[in-house]
A and B are shown apart, each in its own frame.
Chain A
């Protein structure tokens, strides 16, 4: 029973990690807190669903949703964030702009779906579970876990083993210095926003499939969970986001299973509040990120 709960928690946590990775990437590299990330996630689920409804196979739906949200994210950067970069209080202004974008996307989805909850057609993913070490595992859970492992590996390879990744890391530690050394920051913004949107869209389709319910407000709880992962794992830390995402998934599943319902949110957000106060740079944050969080 406990092993089953732990496994379920890990799978849920894997999706949190996927969602938070994109959020964390943009925040860690550009210090932009993109509150529209939850809405991008929701759009991903919608696009995935519409592609399936049009008769496309599931893998194509994934692909279309990911490319769509990736481009959407780049577009949001162009329209809402780029004009604000040179202003004095960019951190604040960008946060506000992202709230505006979030409202726009949620409204569009609300109108497109008539505020209904949409579902994938039955049987799109095989539902017969198989049993492993006494645990009940659905094929979808297996897919989610595999996709998460694949994405994290690819992202780690990209960030730490390629020239592009080195440039991204250079911009994240000091954009001006990186620019003087010949890094083109616009290319970096393009890449980080595309990857961030792509991961959000992927997480959106996976969650849409896993819970088989897609509606305009589905992004909000994940955005809030994204904050928890961001703070818990430390800013811009890939490892931190993965560990914190998995931990959050396990905490949530266990508290749903063993505590009275309704206590989960209290536990999760109290944890966020406590971590912010006790260790504001998170579990894997370094001194640089500490200086960003705390006051002088």
Chain B
């Protein structure tokens, strides 16, 4: 067991980081906001942590909360203009945001090191630290999702007009989702910077964006375990099937298409719904038709 752990430790660390990014992406999608700004905020978080750690010599204990705050602020700022746009256009606008962040990171060379990125960031993050951070975020999101706010997020995602007519403030809850997503992204950006020694702008681009989004879609958008399971699938599956590792993108792409067509709620939420339907249909009503309630 111990040997197994050491052999796969880097992989487990990557999984923990990916799960954090996926959770940041998940919380906006759950609230019905189609923002894909997560990667941009992760980048901002990673850079601000790296700058604070390198130039001021602060430890990760200060840098990580600082980055989370920066991420929260950026998320809140983004939520103001994005509140005016509808789904897919929010995606385009936030995609533009991600590109702007990458371009600025390339351009602001004195601060960010330009295309070479920032190197020699002191490594202060261990596997245990990542586990704690993920557990912390899961705890917060878990208690949120069992509270009123979780129910409101679900209502907003399923039908915004109905939710609004029931007296739910759409803009407030969307801003809340943005702030949460930003804080998580900033935190895990800082942890990544403190884990991998060096960061550069191209790391936070289209590929990472699609991977993070794919993790959430694969896992599911409702339960907090969805993005974690999704990140696990994305990280471990290519490693389990070695010959597939070279075709990682192909595999992920196929998975994405198949899951969105046949299991539109994702693996975790799909299973949960299946179990629930079994239980209820056995007791009371006859088997429901295969038409899913729209999510």
- State which of A106, A228, A293 has its C-beta within 8 Å of the C-beta of B85: A293
Give the contacts of A195-251 with B (CB-CB under 8 A): 220, 224, 227-228, 230-231
| Known interface pairs A87-B294, A270-B100, A276-B89; A96-B83 also in contact (CB < 8 Å) | no
Contact indicator B95/A227 (Cβ below 8 Å): yes
Q: Please tell me which one of the listed residues B100, B107, B161 contacts residue A262 in the complex, with CB atoms under 8 A apart.
A: B107
* B254 on the A face (CB < 8 A): yes
When A224-B95, A227-B95 are in contact, do A93 and B254 touch as well, CB less than 8 Å?
Answer: no
Q: Which of B34, B103, B261 contacts A266 (CB 8 A)?
A: B103
A177 within 8 A of B: no
Q: Does B295 contact A (CB under 8 A)?
A: yes
Return the CB mask of A103-146 against B: 1 if under 8 Å, else 0: 11011101100000000000000000000000000000000000
Q: Given A91-B88, A272-B92, A273-B97, are A263 and B107 also a contact pair (CB < 8 Å)?
A: yes
Distance A90 CA – B250 CA, assembled complex (angstroms) = 23
Instruction: Give every chain A residue within 8 A of B254 (Cβ-Cβ).
Output: 100, 104
Which residues of chain B from 69 to 123 have any CB-CB distance to chain A below 8 Å in the complex?
81, 83-89, 91-93, 95-97, 99-100, 102-104, 106-107, 114
Docked Cα-Cα span, A270 to B100, in Å, equals 7
When the two chains form their complex, are residues A92 and B250 in contact, meaning their CB atoms are under 8 A apart?
no
> Does A157 interact with chain B (Cβ within 8 Å)?
no
- Partner-contacting stretch, out of A67-75, A78-86, A162-170: A78-86
Residue in chain B with minimal CB distance to A265? B103
Interface residue total, chain A, C-beta cutoff 8 A: 48
Interface of chain A residues 260 through 280 with chain B (CB within 8 A): 260, 262-263, 265-266, 269-270, 272-273, 276-277, 280
Expressed in whole angstroms, the Cα–Cα distance for A276 and B90 within the complex equals: 9
Residues of B within 8 A of A296 (CB): 161
Q: Which listed residue, A83, A99, A104, A227, touches B261 by the CB 8 Å rule? A: A83
Q: Is A97 an interface residue (CB 8 A)?
A: yes
Query: Which residues of chain A come closer than 8 Å to B92, judged between CB atoms?
Result: 227, 230-231, 272, 276
Question: CB distance A103 to B85 under 8 Å?
Answer: no
Contact A103 B210, beta carbon cutoff 8 Å: yes
A91 to B256: give the CA distance in the assembly, Å: 15
In whole angstroms, what is the CA distance A185 to B143 when docked?
47
Q: Does A283 contact B (CB under 8 A)?
A: no
> Is B246 an interface residue when CB atoms closer than 8 A count as contact?
yes
Are A269 and B87 in contact, with the CB atoms below 8 A? Answer: no
Pairwise interchain contact B260-A84, C-beta atoms closer than 8 A:
yes
Partner of B83, one of A89, A266, A295: A295
Task: Check if A55 is an interface residue, CB within 8 A of chain B.
Answer: no
Interface pair A104/B249, CB less than 8 Å apart:
yes
Q: Contacts of A262 on B, CB cut-off 8 Å?
A: 103, 106-107, 114
Evaluate contact between A277 and B84: CB separation under 8 angstroms. yes
A108 and B34 within 8 A (CB): no
- B240-260: CB near A (< 8 Å → 1, else 0) gives 000000111110111111001
Asked if B214 CB lies within 8 Å of chain A CBs, one says yes
Using known A-B contacts A263-B107, A266-B104, determine if residue A95 contacts B91 with beta carbons closer than 8 Å.
Answer: yes
The reply to whether the CB of A294 lies closer than 8 angstroms to some CB of chain B is yes
| Contacts A262-B107, A266-B107; A295 near B96 (Cβ below 8 A) | no
Chain A proximity of B226: nearest CB distance (Å)? 14
A77 at the binding interface (Cβ < 8 Å)? no
A154→B248 CA distance, assembly (Å): 41
B249–A110 contact, CB under 8 A?
yes
Q: Are B250 and A103 in contact (CB under 8 A)?
A: yes
B206 at the interface (CB under 8 A from A): yes
Q: Is B186 an interface residue (CB 8 A)?
A: no
Q: Tell me which residues across on chain A come within 8 A of B87, comparing CB atoms.
A: 91-92
Which of B86, B100, B102, B217 lies in contact with A273, CB distance below 8 A? B100
Contact status B89-A293, CB under 8 Å: yes
A203 to B197 CA separation, bound complex (whole angstroms): 40
A-B contacts, 13 listed (Cβ < 8 Å): A80-B261, A92-B34, A92-B87, A93-B260, A99-B213, A100-B255, A102-B253, A103-B214, A103-B256, A228-B96, A230-B92, A265-B103, A293-B85
Interface of B toward A, CB cutoff 8 Å: 34, 81, 83-89, 91-93, 95-97, 99-100, 102-104, 106-107, 114, 161, 206, 210, 213-214, 217, 246-250, 252-257, 260-261, 264, 292-295
New contact pairs (8) apart from A272-B92, A280-B89, A296-B161, CB-CB < 8 Å: A93-B261, A96-B260, A104-B257, A220-B206, A260-B107, A263-B107, A273-B81, A276-B93
